[in-house]
Amino acid sequence: MPTTLQPRLLQRPLTNAAAQAAEAAAGLRAHPARVSPKFFYDTLGSRLFEAITALDEYYPTRTEAAIHHAHGAAIAQAALALTGPAPVLVDLGAGSCAKAARLFPALQPRRYVAVDIAVEYLQDALQALQRLHPQLDIVGLGDDFSARLQLPPELVDGPALVLYPGSSIGNFEPEAAAALLTQAREAAAGGALLIGVDLVKPVPLLEAAYDDALGLTAAFNLNLLRHLNRRLGSDFEPRQWRHLARWNAAASRVEMHLQAREALCARWPGGERAFAAGETLHTENACKWTPEGFAALLQRAGWRPQQHWTDEQGWFAVFLAAA
């Protein structure tokens, strides 16, 4: 009987606690205060995001899945024409790994490399995945690729397909998005990129997706404060904050903020920050593109856009680009 492989888990020292805490403290001291959205993703934050993806208001996940369902064979064929058969599949921000796993039958990857900052959540997901795919070489990389994406060279031993689903690229400012896409091109080693991109649409749909009736997105946003308390030793009290989501037309993005309900002072070892009532802490940008605008961003990062697929309403796009 063939033996079941065990997922390998590698963790980058850069994800160390001190560097993360220093980064968070610098953002809290800034005016206006801001914290990277990567601080959403402790284990509870990853679970809350997973729950958000099932909400009626949060259309991106199911729309992207529908595009893959409708065009999966064509997408896989076009991707494999760029990488060659049995590519290494690199999954950026893998989370539950569900999006990548749906592509396994069509792509038949020889190795699956899942990269995510939430290492414990990733480890659980990979163990479950390995049980379903006992012969697949599965590697988890616990890494903060928002700082720099650099894969251990031994993991990518041929043209890779880099998968970056969910429009997570939208959580980066345009400059940082171009830099990450450039690093993804280097990581692909002559292969290809399959990336999910959320498109511009009427503002009420966008704002509802980031401020749902059940309050899951509010909990996801507020959970960042609990995560900061653990990372930084701060004393944020989530009840003193409210969730805000609003469309910024000039920057073509939904912004999420936490707004102080009252005047307060957050303290942590070596620092503090006073907030006036109504003052905000900026926690996330979610940029929305036109297909032309996103193709231009890919080109700026040195990718050659090949094709993109959208849903009937034109809400979301899946782009394929060659390195």
Q: With respect to ligand AVI, which residue has the nearer C-beta, 145 or 268?
A: 145
Query: Does the bond joining 32 to the residue before it have cis omega, within 30 degrees of 0?
Result: yes
Q: With respect to ligand AVI, which residue has the nearer C-beta, 116 or 284?
A: 284
Min dist. Cβ of residue 237 to ligand AVI (A): 22
Q: With respect to ligand AVI, which residue has the nearer C-beta, 4 or 248?
A: 248
Min dist. Cβ of residue 253 to ligand AVI (A): 9
Q: With respect to ligand AVI, which residue has the nearer C-beta, 171 or 223?
A: 171
List, in sequence order, every residue forming a beta bridge with 142; answer none if it has no partner.
11, 116
Min dist. Cβ of residue 169 to ligand AVI (A): 8
Q: With respect to ligand AVI, which residue has the nearer C-beta, 224 or 322?
A: 224
Residue with the two structure tokens 């509010």:
218
Min dist. Cβ of residue 212 to ligand AVI (A): 9
Q: With respect to ligand AVI, which residue has the nearer C-beta, 96 or 234?
A: 96
Per-position DSSP letters for 96-148, written without gaps between them: T-HHHHTTHHHH--SEEEEEES-HHHHHHHHHHHHHHSTTSEEEEEE--TTT-
Q: Which residue is nearest to ligand AVI (CB)?
A: 286
Residues that bind ligand AVI (CB under 6 A): 49, 52, 60, 166-168, 170-171, 210, 217, 220, 284, 286
Cα–Cα dist 7/28, whole Å: 37
Min dist. Cβ of residue 264 to ligand AVI (A): 24
Min dist. Cβ of residue 209 to ligand AVI (A): 7
Assess contact for 288 and 201: CB atoms under 8 A.
yes
In sign, the C-alpha dihedral spanning 247, 251, 253, 259 is negative
Torsion angle of alpha carbons 173, 175, 180, 185, nearest 10°?
Answer: 140
Helices (H), 153-256: 174-187, 203-209, 216-232
